[in-house]
Amino acid sequence: MAYNQPLGGNEMIRTGGPATFMRLPTQETASGLDACFIGIPMDIGTSNRPGTRLGPRQIRDESRMLRPFNMATGAAPFEHMQVADIGDVPINTFDLKKSVDIITKFYRAVLNDGAIPLTLGGDHTLTWPILRAIREKHGPVALVHVDAHADINDEMFGEKVAHGCPFRRAWEDECLINNKVYQIGLRGTGYSPDDFNWARGQGWRVVQAEECWHKSMVPLMEDIRAEIGDAPVYLTYDIDSLDPAYAPGTGTVEVGGLSTIQGLEIIRGLSGLNIVGCDLVEVSPPYDPTGNTALIGGNFLYEMLCVLPKAVQGD
């Protein structure tokens, strides 16, 4: 079978052609795909700086330098998987509550087509409706959540749906396997110790950023891999987990974050697991004048593709 390939740099200059993720072909649905890239151009769930509605398009543009082979890991995802960019979820930009239902419905169709969704965000509200669809297909999942923030608020401004609440909602909806939830990179100022300890009280493992400083993430990921075992696992990667020196183009910046090297170690450390979906959220192009934040986001999404089961095991 001939799989879709990213358009090569010797076929069309990299700044030319349609700006799809990795310059992959597009199609309207996930039918026939093993994995697909999906944009959610949404920022109406943000609480501080806006702009993530522009994230998916900028990540696609900055993904144009990505080549098919992973020189570090040896992964060749386009030799084993049918992959395409299926465009954006048509959210309602005047209604966040309607938008989360639109997202769940969209992902239900993608999952019913048998494709693994890789999502370009978009504010972090979007992970909750994706996890609702994932639960219908796979049951509760293990969660690897990389972020500066816990995103477990019960509400913000009295609202249950916001980018600081997705994992509280996912917990309420029993989307998660509580002894297989990992929050990595949390830091900054809070209102009380409970900001991080509520999660620990549910059996989740919280690895604060300070525990990651000056260290390789490889031993941590070995532990996490062993604990997750055969369970289905979802990866949600908030770009603000990275230090603002690397990724300033985001809405809620915190100092003392992870390096891009640590981010790569975390994603590559999931290789061999039963990954059922991934997202990369909170890229805000108006605060990303060099494009580096979106470029890192694009690279991380490619690394996620490279650790999907079929990319690792072949077909």
Q: Determine, following the binding rule CB under 5 A, whether residue 238 of this chain makes contact with Mn ion.
A: yes
| The one among 123, 240, 243, 279 contacting Mn ion by CB under 5 A | 240
Backbone angles phi, psi at 258, to 5 degrees: -70, 160
Q: Determine, following the binding rule CB under 5 A, whether residue 254 of this chain makes contact with Mn ion.
A: no
Please choose, out of 147-155, 177-185, 193-201, 286-294, the segment that lies near Mn ion by the rule CB under 5 A: 147-155
Least Å from the CB of residue 83 to Mn ion: 26
3-state secondary structure of 226: helix
What angle, rounded to 10 degrees, do the helices at 292-306 and 55-62 form? 80
Least Å from the CB of residue 164 to Mn ion: 7
Nearer residue to Mn ion within complex by CB, 78 or 300: 300
Identify which of 154, 117, 63 has the alpha carbon closest to the alpha carbon of residue 236: 117
Least Å from the CB of residue 156 to Mn ion: 12
Nearer residue to Mn ion within complex by CB, 188 or 286: 188
Q: Determine, following the binding rule CB under 5 A, whether residue 148 of this chain makes contact with Mn ion.
A: yes
Binding mask 163-202 for Mn ion (x = CB under 5 A): ----------------------------------------
What angle, rounded to 10 degrees, do the helices at 260-268 and 292-306 form? 20
Nearer residue to Mn ion within complex by CB, 39 or 185: 185
Least Å from the CB of residue 6 to Mn ion: 29
Residues in 116-135 that interact with Mn ion by CB under 5 A:
124
Binding mask 5-44 for Mn ion (x = CB under 5 A): ----------------------------------------
Least Å from the CB of residue 284 to Mn ion: 11
How far apart, in whole angstroms, are the C-alpha atoms of residue 9 and residue 15? 9
Least Å from the CB of residue 96 to Mn ion: 15
Nearer residue to Mn ion within complex by CB, 141 or 148: 148
CA distances from 31 to 26, 27, 116, 275, 302 (A): 12, 9, 11, 19, 21
CA distances from 189 to 67, 150, 253, 255 (A): 39, 12, 11, 10
Cα 182–chain centre separation: 14
What angle, rounded to 10 degrees, do the helices at 218-228 and 260-268 form? 30
Nearer residue to Mn ion within complex by CB, 77 or 164: 164
DSSP state of 305: H
Please choose, out of 13-21, 195-203, 237-245, 297-305, the segment that lies near Mn ion by the rule CB under 5 A: 237-245
Does residue 182 contact residue 155 with C-beta atoms inside 8 Å? no
Q: Determine, following the binding rule CB under 5 A, whether residue 145 of this chain makes contact with Mn ion.
A: no
Q: Determine, following the binding rule CB under 5 A, whether residue 149 of this chain makes contact with Mn ion.
A: yes
Q: Determine, following the binding rule CB under 5 A, whether residue 288 of this chain makes contact with Mn ion.
A: no
Least Å from the CB of residue 78 to Mn ion: 30
How far apart, in whole angstroms, are the C-alpha atoms of residue 310 and residue 83? 11
Mapping DSSP onto H, E and C, the string for 28-78 reads CCCCCCCEEEEEECCCCCCCCCCCHHHHHHHHHHHHHHCCCCCCCCCCCHH
Residues lying near Mn ion in the complex (CB under 5 A): 124, 147-149, 151, 238, 240
